Amino acid sequence: MSNQEVLLRLSHIEKSFPGVHALKDVSLEVRKGEVLALIGENGAGKSTLIKAITGAHAPDSGTIEFDGVTYDKMTPEIALQVGIGAIYQEFTQAPPLSVAENVFMNLRVNDGPFRDYALMCKKTKEITDKLGVDINPRALVKDLTVGYKQLVEISKALARNARFLIMDEPTAPLTDDEVELLFKIIRELKEQGMTIIYISHRLDELFEVSDRVTVMRDGEVVVTKDINEIDKPMLIKYMVGRELKESFPERDKHYGDVVLEVKDFCGETVGPVSFTLREGEILGFGGLVGAGRTELARAIFGADPQVSGELYVKGQKVHFKSSMEAIEHGLGYVSEDRKNQGVLQNMAVDFNISLPIIKKLSHMLLVNTKKEREIVQKQVDDMSIKTPSLKQRTSNLSGGNQQKVVLGKWLASESDILILDEPTRGIDVGSKQEIYKLINRLAEQGKAIIVISSEMEELLGLTDRMLVLYEGKCTGKLEKEEYSQEKVLQYASGELSL
Ligand SMILES: Nc1ncnc2c1ncn2[C@@H]1O[C@H](COP(=O)(O)OP(=O)(O)OP(=O)(O)O)[C@@H](O)[C@H]1O
Ligand SMILES: [Mg+2]
């Protein structure tokens, strides 16, 4: 059978980093024209394996065979030449440039010294037409939603004639609609003969698009199965090495005083919104991406301007002009954008986690290092952050573990009011539960928490009350008893309104 033909064969791939054995004797076959899902816990080695295939990292040993040719090591040049394309966890785009300029970045479009922009746009349009999506080649990438940014990445690979496409967590930042669009594109590409490796932590999705699934654990390939031979509980068991119930942990609910009150509050593009938040309460912000949830959070946190309305923290009227002021009043904000706002990539794990508490720990300019170590170690343990040492550079951690560092930084911060924007994005099933437990524990200790999440289950399972936004306006307020997916979606789509 032609669809059994192997396009990529990895044999005995080994890769170590200082203190980390990232890939252990990995062998894997990818068949021509299939969609292979690759899953595993944070730090299991998925991205490292992908980088060995694209030549971004040289493995220590082992061979890579692509389309019948064996390589000791892949290089980015060979990968490009043979048609291997990859979309990484963090995009590599130039946001101020147009779609066409991004798609054809570093590529020749025409002969002669000047780039023919019209031709570049025409070619870009041909590519996106083939994917069945409508996107203006002249639009600036910075103005696109994440879903369309991703499309630019895919188009970029197609412009380079990729016939083997690797997607590292393509759906992590997407809304349900955008995921549908991506799946449509994946099916379209498959029709056209593309071979695809697809990495994701959203386990339900895999069943929709993949033909086979490979599970990695601690740098090893544990199993590869046809998708119809396996179900989700089995996948989880292979991933974490034990049974894991997927439910939201219970918690004791004791509400105290109102610590945050927002009255007719407007940011630049969001509002007016009014709500109160009590100690011990977890309030959800629901809505589609672009509904203004992050804008609202940032304005409350002083990261963006408050245009009108009133804000009270612990009964005191405030108007934050910077996040620093908000932090001084006990607010904390875990950003959804870990790369740009979350952590200092070049600094060590311990530095990042202790950043918001350093003021408290320092005495006469001397940081209390013993105390710092204790707090940081506790966060690392609580969230099982996988790192060879507290001194590891944060950029060397796996994507999900970087996300945990961002979270750990704020959970350690002793802020009384925490805003968590997409707290479990890119985090594996097992760790997600640890993080839910941690959030619950903080609420039990009396912290007031706001959770923004695009994952419906998480929003419904974790929060006590919910505010739903649509186009910057608050369209719905729900109490726990009224929770249902349909209701949230109706408010989120503007179909229902207060
Ligand atoms: N450049 C690097 N330097 C040092 N260690 C690294 C480097 N890249 C990855 N590692 C380590 O290798 C291991 C595997 O990481 P990898 O990024 O492949 O995990 P992953 O499966 O992609 O996880 P995630 O789901 O969180 O993205 C981790 O322990 C990580 O810390
Ligand atoms: Mg990864």
Asked whether the predicted pLDDT for residue 68 surpasses 60, the reply is: yes
Which ligand has the shortest distance to the CA of 349?
A: 1
CB atoms within 10 A of CB 181: 19
Atom 8 of ligand 1: nearest residue by CA position: 396
125-154 pLDDT, tens digit each:
999 998 888 899 999 998 887 778 888 999
* Number of helices (H), then strands (E), in the chain: 17, 22
If asked whether residues 173 and 278 sit together in one domain, one would say no
Residue 98 lies in a domain: yes
Q: By residue range, what is the domain housing residue 423?
A: 258-492
Q: Ligand 2 center to residue 442 CA distance, Å?
A: 28
Co-location of 190 and 281 in the same domain: no
Whether the CB of 17 sits within 6 Å of ligand 1: yes
**What's the gap in Å between 79 CA and the centre of ligand 2?**
20
Interval 191-195 mean pLDDT: 94
Which strands, in side-by-side order, build the sheet including 6-17? 20-31, 6-17, 61-66, 69-71
What ligand 1 atom has the least distance to the C-alpha of 201? 25
Burial of 161 per CB tally in 10 Å (0-12, 13-18, 19+): exposed
Quick check: is 253 in a domain? no
Say if ligand 1 is within 6 A of residue 399 CB: yes
Sign for the pseudo-dihedral over CA of 456, 462, 466, 470:
negative
- Do 184 and 322 sit in the same domain of this protein? no
For residue 250, being part of any structural domain is answered with no
Are 188 and 293 part of one and the same domain?
A: no
394 lines ligand 1 (CB under 6 A): no
277 and 223 co-located in one domain = no
Least confident of 54-58, 143-147, 259-263, 484-488: 143-147
pLDDT digits 0-9 by tens, 300-342 = 999 999 999 999 999 999 999 999 899 999 999 988 766 666 6
Ligand 1 centroid – CA 398 distance (Å): 4
In a domain, 83, yes or no: yes
Domain count, the chain: 2
For residue 359, what is the domain's CATH number? Answer: 3.40.50.300
Please tell me the distance from the alpha carbon of residue 405 to that of residue 470, in angstroms, as a whole number.
31
Lowest mean pLDDT among 146-150, 261-265, 484-488: 146-150
Cβ atoms 287, 456 nearer than 8 A: no
CA–CA distance, 376 with 29 (Å, rounded to integer) = 41
Closest residue by CA, ligand 1 atom 1: 396
Domain match, 220 and 277 both: no
What percent of the chain shows pLDDT beyond 90?
Answer: 56
Atom of ligand 1 nearest to the CA of 46: 21
Residues 296 and 184 in one domain: no
How does pLDDT run across 358-416, given as a tens digit for each residue?
Answer: 666 655 555 667 777 888 898 888 888 999 999 999 889 888 888 888 888 887 777 89
Residue carrying the six token digits 């046809």: 226
Determine, yes or no, domain membership for 498. no
Task: Answer with the one of 189, 210, 240 that is the final residue of a domain.
Answer: 240
Which candidate, 2, 38, 41, places its Cα nearest to that of 165? 38
Ligand 2: centre distance to CA 43 (Å): 7
User: Which residue among 13, 16, 17 has the greatest number of ligand 1 atoms within 8 angstroms of its CB, and so is best to mutate?
Assistant: 17
Specify whether 233 is located in the same domain as 264.
no
Could you tell me the CA-to-CA distances from 71 to 53, 112, 239 in Å, in that order? Answer: 10, 35, 30
Residue 5 phi/psi, 5° resolution? Answer: -60, 135
Q: 281 C-alpha vs ligand 2 centroid, how far in Å?
A: 33
SS3 content of the chain, % helix, strand, coil (to 5): 35, 25, 35
Q: Within a domain: residue 327?
A: yes
Could you tell me where the beta strands, DSSP code E, fall in 151-203? 164-168, 195-199
